[in-house]
Amino acid sequence: MSRQDMLKRMKDEDVEYLDIRFTDPRGTLQHVTVCADQVDEDFLEDGFMFDGSSIAGWKSIEQSDMKLMPDPGSAYIDPFYAERTMAVHCTVLEPDTNERYGRDPRGTARNAEDYLRSTGIGDTAYFGPEAEFFLFDDVRFSVSMNKVSYHVDAQDGAWNSDTSFEMGNMGHRPGIKGGYFPVNPIDDAQDLRAEMLTTMKRMGMKVDKHHHEVGSCQHELGMIFGTLCHQADEMQKHKYVIQNVAHAYGKSATFMPKPISGDNGSGMHVNMSIWKDGKPLFAGDRYADLSDEALWYIGGILRHAKALNAFTNPTTNSYKRLIPGFEAPVLRAYSARNRSGCIRIPWAESPKAKRVEARFPDPAANPYLAFSALLMAGLDGIRNKINPGEAMDKDLYDLPPEELADIPTVCHSLREALGELEADMDFLTAGDVFSKDQIEGYMDLKWKEIYAYEHTPHPVEFKMYYSC
d(CA 220, CA 211): 6
- Exposed/middle/buried for 78, CB within 10 Å: 0-12, 13-18, 19+? buried
Run of H or E residues at 184: none
Q: How would residue 402 be classed by pLDDT, with cut points 50, 70 and 90? A: confident
Residue-averaged pLDDT of the chain: 95
Per the annotation, where are the binding residues? 130, 132, 208, 213, 220, 264-265, 269, 321, 327, 339, 352, 357, 359
Q: Which of 27, 24, 74 is nearest to 52 (CA)?
A: 24
Q: What is the pLDDT of residue 400?
A: 80
Q: Which of 63, 81, 189, 92 is nearest to 136 (CA)?
A: 189
Ranges assigned E (strand) in 137-195: 138-144, 147-153
Q: Under a CB-based contact definition with an 8 Å cutoff, are residues 283 and 345 in contact? A: no
Q: Under a CB-based contact definition with an 8 Å cutoff, are residues 314 and 28 in contact? A: no
Q: What is the pLDDT of residue 139?
A: 98
The percent of the chain in helix, strand and coil, each rounded to the nearest 5, is 40, 25, 40
The mean per-residue pLDDT over the stretch 114-118 comes to: 98
Tell me the pLDDT tens digit for each residue of 416-435: 999 999 999 999 999 999 99
pLDDT above 70: residue 325: no
Whether the CA torsion 301, 307, 313, 318 is positive or negative: it is positive
Q: What is the pLDDT of residue 401?
A: 79
pLDDT above 70: residue 151: yes
- Exposed/middle/buried for 289, CB within 10 Å: 0-12, 13-18, 19+? middle
Per the annotation, where are the binding residues for Mg(2+)? 130, 132, 213, 220, 269, 357
The mean per-residue pLDDT over the stretch 217-246 comes to: 98
The mean per-residue pLDDT over the stretch 269-280 comes to: 97
Count CA atoms closer than 13 A to 228's CA, side-chain side: 30
259-273 burial code (b ≥16 CB/10 A, e <16):
bbeebbbbbbbbbbb
The mean per-residue pLDDT over the stretch 200-208 comes to: 97
Q: How would residue 74 be classed by pLDDT, with cut points 50, 70 and 90? A: very high
Run of H or E residues at 419: helix 414-423
d(CA 353, CA 174): 33
Q: How would residue 324 be classed by pLDDT, with cut points 50, 70 and 90? A: confident
By annotation, the residues acting in catalysis are 51, 130, 132, 213, 220, 269, 339, 357, 359
pLDDT above 90: residue 339: no
pLDDT above 70: residue 322: yes
d(CA 175, CA 159): 8
Q: Which of 306, 292, 288, 296 is nearest to 353 (CA)?
A: 288
Per the annotation, where are the binding residues for ATP? 208, 339, 352
pLDDT above 90: residue 206: yes
Rounded (5°) CA angle 251-256-259? 75
pLDDT above 90: residue 1: no
Three-state SS letters, 209-276 = EEEECCCCCEEEEEECCEEHHHHHHHHHHHHHHHHHHHHHCCCEEECCCCCCCCCCCCCEEEEEEEEE
Per the annotation, where are the binding residues for L-glutamate? 264-265, 321, 327, 339, 359
The mean per-residue pLDDT over the stretch 255-272 comes to: 96
d(CA 159, CA 174): 10
Q: What is the pLDDT of residue 338?
A: 72
Tell me the pLDDT tens digit for each residue of 438-460: 999 999 999 999 999 999 999 99
Domains of the chain: 3-101 (3.10.20.70), 124-465 (3.30.590.10)
d(CA 74, CA 235): 12
Relative to beta strand 207-212, strand 356-358 is: unpaired
pLDDT above 80: residue 398: no
Q: What is the pLDDT of residue 61?
A: 67
Look at the pTM and tell me if it is higher than 0.75: yes
